[in-house]
Chains A and B, each alone.
Chain A
Amino acid sequence: MSDTVKILASDVNVFYDTKQALHDINIDIMDRQVTAFIGPSGCGKSTFLRCFNRMNDVIPSCRVDGHIMMGDENINDQALDPVFLRARVGMVFQKPNPFPKSIFENVAYGPRIHGLVTNKSEAEDIVVDSLKRSGLWNEVHDRLHDPATGLSGGQQQRLCIARAIAVQPEVLLMDEPCSALDPIATSIIEELINDLKDRFTIIIVTHSMQQAARVSQKTAYFHLGHLIEYGETKDVFTRPADPQTEAYISGKIG
């Protein structure tokens, strides 16, 4: 665990057409820690998460203002190539979304398009390494060329994690990665997140307070597009500074 700031977001405002989804968000994300975004649904967690890899660009009505600095680069600078950015900031989505191709192809795709591998054996090395890191290797090593869609939901989600880390990003964004999974698959992924934080800065959106408490070092509580509270996870959960946060974690909102 380190104490350096990885990403510094200041005065971030996000609009869908004229509707404002996020108001003046200021936050600093710590390097190689797990930061959890919690809050009632519709409060803007996903929207904010997508600011970090510019996935909001895909939504034509979406406009993002403000600075999101990673090192001395502004992620939100329109001159910055989002394709380059996404090689540094990977993403795992809410619903497992493997490509309808083989397991191998899923993991090898990222390194290949970025030119990180130039031949088959390099690709194999990366695939094996990523599958091992995502804890999937033992389950799939003998069927790497089977379609990924044949895996179980939990396996698919770990494959998506393997696919994301195969590009060796610095930051890993996860939008409710366990919401479509059963409790056992969920706990496997939580363990995985714990292992991965030594190498990656992880930001995870979750609707489960217990999950935030289990996996994260920092927690940010959002409400109606505002960042209400942000601090050490143990502080946020044991002595929330804001009454709204307290209401939420004690189950009165949500």
Chain B
Amino acid sequence: MNNPTDMLTAQQRQDIIRHSLQKRHKTERRLRWAGLTAITIAISFLVILISNIFLNGYTALLQSELQVEMTIPKAELVDENGDLDAARIMTFNWNGLVKKAFRKKFPDVKGMMDKRSLGDLVSDNAGYELRLQIEKNPELMEQNLFWIKTSDDVDMYMKGRLDASLPEKMRRLDDKQIGWVDQLKEVSEIRKVFNTGFFTTADSREPESAGILGAVVGSAMALMVTIILALPLAVMAAIYLEYFARPGRVTDLIEVNINNLAAVPSIVFGLLGLSVFLGFFNMPRSAPLVGGMVLALMTLPTIIIATRASIRAVPTSIRDAALGVGASRMQAALDHVLPQAAPGILTGTIIGIAQALGETAPLIMIGMVAFVVDVPTSITDPATALPVQIFIWSDSAERAFYERSSLAIMVLLVFLISMNLLAVILRRRYEKTW
């Protein structure tokens, strides 16, 4: 018996332990503080980021409009039978009508230059949008009062994003223009309303007409393609690797490659799509189909890895039970293991898809960065995607695009957060413990 503590009395032994205890508690407290600090820093960055985006973007929820009084010359728009004539509507100078009506509000304004700068207060798209409205609802022609969109510069001024104290040369509205807007404000002929257009239209050259619907639909189509391609392929691959592949060099090689693939920068997948899908197979540029295929390649390893992990989490006793009563390997996998693994597979898929939703680089490579004013109606139509739309807008000169890109980021974040939330809920609800 040469235990060194044999020499100590019980009292001494307790003292030693108590002393060491103090030290241990101190270390623990320090660690706790370090952890707390780290979390606080991380959270405050997140808060700063999100509030910054919010402050930049919330104003895009509103759009300024101004009131004009005008009579639509119905006679010029109908054919011999008195029905609306599509061709005439197309060729009619709507913009001229709107601007002329608007200028009537300021009869004192004379001179070419002043008239032009007065006209600049109205959106260049106002005529076009009026035409669309009338095509949809011809009864509007009977009306005399219209609210039409202001130009983006007026919109910025209305939202306080144009600093009137700057020297005149340095701002996008001169003193006269600001004066006119203020006049309109006084008589309440200019107002801010909810910007429905942002959610119901696609991109536009004019910020006041630009919306995200085109990009959202483009993203949704691409993700559909991704799910349809990646999910079955990944689940099959995972089942094969877990159940059928004989361990050996080939299987090891496949495994290493899948893990590597998960770490490949996404732009590389974009390059692959560019050279293979577009270059070799001549598939359409800018199409959600190709975007979805590229994203599927990118998501594949993520889903395979998640599926294999969930298959492995199902106890082998379940598989043995199935094999024991004479199920084939495939029956054991499909009837018993997959249903148990399904929540895990689903969670992995959602997270993979959420990643794909946020991807920009590979989509730019295959041309989904194009300027598209129509909401795509099929997966081969040219389209863009939500993150790419954000990229395009944040890169534009107009201040009004900047606030729109912030709002679009918020929309993207809402999608991402709801997807991750869904994943968490699914995991909570179906999580099995054995």
Contact = CB atoms under 8 A, between A and B. Distances in A.
Interface string B322-340: 1111111001000110001
Interface in A98-129: 98-100, 109-110, 113-114
B326 A97 contact: no
Interface string A19-38: 00000000000000000000
Choose among B322, B326, B327 the residue with the greatest number of A CB atoms under 10 Å from its CB. B326
A110 B318 contact: no
B246 interface: yes
Contact of A93 (B246, B324, B326, B327): B324
A198 B16 CA distance: 69
Given A95-B317, A97-B321, A100-B432, A114 B336 contact: no
B353 to A, nearest CB: 27
Contacts of A97: 315, 317-318, 320-321
B318 A164 contact: no
A55 B323 contact: yes
Contact of A83 (B247, B327, B335): B327
Contacts of A83: 326-328
Contacts of B247: 60
Interface string A34-59: 00000000000000000001010010
A55 B320 contact: yes
Interface in B285-341: 315, 317-328, 331, 335-336, 340
A151 to B, nearest CB: 14
Given A95-B317, A100-B340, A100-B432, A109 B325 contact: yes
Given A55-B320, A97-B317, A113-B331, A86 B432 contact: no
Contact of A167 (B320, B326, B340): B326
Nearest to A160: B321
A93 B340 contact: no
A160 B317 CA distance: 12
B325 A93 contact: no
Contacts, number: 62
A92 to B, nearest CB: 8
Contacts of A53: 324
A150 to B, nearest CB: 14
A158 interface: no
A90 to B, nearest CB: 7
Choose among A85, A87, A91 the residue with the greatest number of B CB atoms under 10 Å from its CB. A91
B331 A93 contact: no
Contact of A86 (B315, B319, B325, B336): B325
Interface residues of A, number: 27
Choose among B318, B325, B336 the residue with the greatest number of A CB atoms under 10 Å from its CB. B325
Contacts of B321: 93, 97-99, 160, 163
Nearest to B316: A58
A98 B246 CA distance: 28
Interface residues of B, number: 20
B324 A55 contact: yes
B326 A114 contact: yes
Interface string A203-232: 000000000000000000000000000000
Given A99-B318, A109-B335, A113-B331, A58 B323 contact: yes
Contact of B326 (A87, A92, A98, A100): A87
Contacts of B336: 99
A134 to B, nearest CB: 14
Contacts of A93: 317, 320-321, 324
Contacts of B322: 99, 109
Contacts of B340: 100
Contacts of B319: 58
A88 to B, nearest CB: 9
B320 A86 contact: no
Nearest to B432: A100
Contacts of A87: 325-326
Interface string B368-412: 000000000000000000000000000000000000000000000
Contacts of A164: 324-325
Interface string B218-248: 0000000000000000000000000000110
Contacts of A99: 318, 321-322, 336
A245 B315 CA distance: 36
Contacts of A55: 320, 323-324
Choose among B246, B324, B327, B432 the residue with the greatest number of A CB atoms under 10 Å from its CB. B324
A66 to B, nearest CB: 22
A92 B320 CA distance: 10
Nearest to B314: A100
Interface string A143-161: 0000000000000000010
B331 A86 contact: no
A86 B323 CA distance: 8
Query: Which 3 pairs across A and B sit closest by C-beta, in order of nearness?
Result: A110-B325, A86-B326, A97-B317
Interface of B: 246-247, 315, 317-328, 331, 335-336, 340, 432
8 contacts: A93-B321, A97-B320, A99-B336, A100-B318, A109-B322, A109-B335, A113-B327, A166-B325
Given A60-B246, A83-B327, 11 more contacts: A86-B325, A87-B326, A90-B325, A92-B324, A97-B317, A97-B321, A99-B321, A99-B322, A113-B326, A113-B327, A160-B321
